[in-house]
Amino acid sequence: EYPGVKNVRFPDGLIWKPDILLYNSADERFDATFHTNVLVNSSGHCQYLPPGIFKSSCYIDVRWFPFDVQKCNLKFGSWTYGGWSLDLQMQEADISGYISNGEWDLVGVPGKRTESFYECCKEPYPDVTFTVTMRRRTLYYGLNLLIPCVLISALALLVFLLPA
């Protein structure tokens, strides 16, 4: 009937989609995704790729500052569906669009799928956790913090060599 039409787009409210959320969200809205259309092809395959800005709380270890490496876990899962209704499958994180900055290097974003069991229910509850690993760039702090501190300390010691 419609030659050449290979897919159509529907508003996301017209098609069922899972309630995947960031469990350890630090955002007051909790669902940080923006609603976009669902792409449906002629075989019925649906593709829903909402962009999102996620805020999460992380433990920051600064014992080795400015030579530290920080790791932050982002744990995603369904809030209401168990493993018998929804099976989460993990793909590696795509960091090709990462824009580097002067302070941090992105080391990697490995992911891990786990299943949790609760007393209430027999079914498993799967989740996917991505660990964002970042290394602080030391050149920035070396030039702006360490070298000035060492120079000021050295000058302070040279004061004692001045004749009285």
What is the predicted pLDDT for the residue at 111? 94
Confidence of residue 32 (pLDDT cuts 50, 70, 90): low
Q: Mean pLDDT for the chain? A: 88
Q: Does residue 109 sit in the same domain as residue 151?
A: yes
Farthest CA pair distance, the chain? 100
Inform me whether the pLDDT recorded for 114 exceeds 90.
yes
Report how far apart, in Å, the C-alpha atoms of 42 and of each of 5, 32, 67, 86 are.
8, 30, 53, 23
Q: Does residue 21 sit in the same domain as residue 98?
A: no
Inform me whether the pLDDT recorded for 109 exceeds 90.
yes
What is the predicted pLDDT for the residue at 113? 94
Q: Does residue 18 sit in the same domain as residue 80?
A: no
Could you report the per-residue pLDDT of 53-89, keeping only the tens digit for each? Answer: 888 989 999 999 888 999 999 999 998 888 899 888 8
What is the predicted pLDDT for the residue at 46? 87
Residues in the chain: 164
Q: Does residue 46 sit in the same domain as residue 75?
A: no
Q: Does residue 108 sit in the same domain as residue 132?
A: yes
- 10 Å CB burial of residue 155 (0-12, 13-18, 19+) is exposed
Give the residue ranges of DSSP H helices in 3-144: 138-141
Q: How many distinct structural domains can be found in the chain?
A: 2
Could you report the per-residue pLDDT of 146-159, keeping only the tens digit for each? Answer: 899 999 999 999 99
Inform me whether the pLDDT recorded for 141 exceeds 90.
no
For the chain, what is the radius of gyration of the CA atoms? 25
Q: Does residue 86 sit in the same domain as residue 139?
A: yes
Q: Does residue 88 sit in the same domain as residue 162?
A: yes
Tokens of residue 105, six digits:
């290097």
Range of the domain at 42: 1-57
What is the mean predicted confidence (pLDDT) over 126-153? Answer: 90
